Amino acid sequence: MRKKVKCPYCGYEMPIFYDEKSVCKGLTIRCKGRNCRREFEIKIKAK
Ligand SMILES: [Zn+2]
């Protein structure tokens, strides 16, 4: 099942998908939310 990356500040759903097997750290993106635009690091841990 695919999940979307959400901004931790405003909850905006980024057009970036991952699944349960994804592992990610050290990847920084900028939020596309209209009033947010903050940068945050995507951290996805394997379960
Ligand atoms: Zn945001």
Residue-level pLDDT, tens digit, the chain, 47 residues:
899 999 999 999 999 999 999 999 999 999 999 999 999 999 998 76
How far apart are alpha carbons 19 and 21 in whole angstroms?
5
Other Cβ atoms within 10 Å of 2 Cβ, number: 8
Question: What is residue 1's predicted lDDT score, i.e. its pLDDT?
Answer: 86
Ligand 1 centre from 16 Cα, in Å? 14
Ligand 1 centre from 39 Cα, in Å? 8
Ligand 1 centre from 31 Cα, in Å? 5
Q: Indicate the pairing of strand 39-44 with strand 24-30.
A: antiparallel
Other Cβ atoms within 10 Å of 35 Cβ, number: 9
CA distances from 44 to 27, 32, 34, 47 (A): 10, 19, 24, 9
How far apart are alpha carbons 11 and 24 in whole angstroms?
19
